[in-house]
Chains A and B, each alone.
Chain A
């Protein structure tokens, strides 16, 4: 069953649909929260809050606007940013140095979705690497560091308008590059 179908079933309070979504995306969600917060307890709180939002606010999902996976991960991201801005955890922009490796719950790992996500992640890494350094840096500080564009401007000692431009143009370039990659892959598959 597709992610979107599962979210639709949440609106009818289908606990099995929730379980399926959790098993597909809890590892990605926890990984994202952990990368942003560098604190396993805080990451656990964030993932819990995020999945309860998914459960309770499934009717706010708009399939015409985003994929269900994007929606779920964006909720996790919002919650982690909130946590960072409340100042209860330190900011960390890199995976380097994170050594928390909790016990695996193999029954919860959805291999298909993780492999697909891993392939996409490689593509995102590649595309990020094609951006000018200043755009990539600004995007990573905003997304993984949870910093506002004003805070980024302060850290980089550049005008806020410059940061706004870097974030917007950087994302636009990423989109163009990702679209080209998808066209290329489609042609290759054909």
Chain B
């Protein structure tokens, strides 16, 4: 009897040994096969127990403090939000408001001249993900002859082909959280389809910045996204690199204050996405001021 080609992949699935494409095939198949679901549950439980064979090690104590700081802050915000659901608080919206249900949208379109910028990618080996609260200081890039040609350097010429929302919330603790929403500058950038991607930048009164992405696609091997903060006049500052594939959402908090910057942008770089100079492949942008 020939084994079912999809069910043959269940062991690989349980061990995270499938490509995203193969995983999608199995995911699509599972609802039609209760027996495969049952087997996968069992194999995943066994695979999960393999973790126990790794020697437990103490993480750095600062990690605990950092996580608890984030968690307590988000718990307080969540409680605030729940309170507001019961007794709505005042929202200060800096953007024009239309309709009755919430903040309005302002649409700005100005396609960037991506063809103007070319050049080598950075191959910097430094870590790609800054660790919030760990004293991470954004690196200021060196030569930036190319990036200003995109005209991100001036607030008035920012190009964002996406809905932009601006909402300022003042929570109970007096911490101001200003939200900006951005999106893709083109449907396809560097061969990567960005339709449906959006992201939110929270400029927080405690001098941190939280960025939430939805719908980031899976990038081809060897590529990564990189987040930049761009001042009205000056050099783009690299914030961190990250992979895509976040259809379920992806949030990261950085210990950098985005308030002085005019634009948050995401480019497509060589993996791991820690270039010191932006590539020509501007993917997403959000106006901050």
Contacts and interface: CB of A to CB of B under 8 A. Distances in A.
A82 interface: yes
Interface in A21-43: 22, 26-32, 34-36, 40-43
B2 to A, nearest CB: 11
Contacts of A146: 16
> Size band of the A side of the interface?
35 or more
B64 A102 contact: no
A76 B52 CA distance: 12
B75 A105 contact: no
A88 B48 contact: no
B149 interface: no
B15 A86 contact: no
A164 B131 contact: no
A103 interface: yes
A66 B54 contact: no
B129 A45 contact: yes
A26 B68 CA distance: 13
A168 B36 CA distance: 12
Interface stretch (B3-11, B99-107, B175-183, B193-201): B3-11
Interface in B15-72: 15-19, 41-61, 63-64, 66-68, 70-72
Contacts of A101: 57-58
B63 A52 contact: no
B243 interface: yes
A41 B126 CA distance: 11
Contacts of A42: 127
Contact of B53 (A15, A88, A103, A121): A121
Contacts of B15: 139, 142-143, 167, 171
Nearest to A78: B16
A120 interface: yes
A143 B51 CA distance: 9
A61 interface: no
B17 A149 contact: yes
Interface of A: 13-15, 18-19, 22, 26-32, 34-36, 40-45, 47-49, 51-52, 55-57, 65-67, 69-71, 73-74, 76-78, 81-82, 86-88, 95, 98, 100-105, 108-109, 114, 117-118, 120-121, 124-125, 128, 139, 142-144, 146-150, 152, 161, 163-172, 174-175, 178
Interface of B: 3, 8-12, 14-19, 41-61, 63-64, 66-68, 70-72, 74-75, 78-79, 127-129, 131-132, 222, 224, 243, 248, 251, 271-272
Given A28-B51, A52-B67, A161-B8, 7 more contacts: A13-B78, A30-B56, A44-B131, A70-B45, A171-B46, A175-B42, A175-B46
Q: Which are the 4 A-B pairs with shortest beta-carbon distances?
A: A168-B11, A167-B11, A70-B48, A30-B59
21 contacts: A19-B68, A30-B59, A31-B54, A31-B56, A34-B54, A34-B57, A43-B59, A48-B67, A52-B67, A66-B41, A73-B48, A87-B222, A87-B272, A95-B54, A101-B58, A104-B58, A121-B52, A128-B53, A142-B16, A165-B3, A171-B15
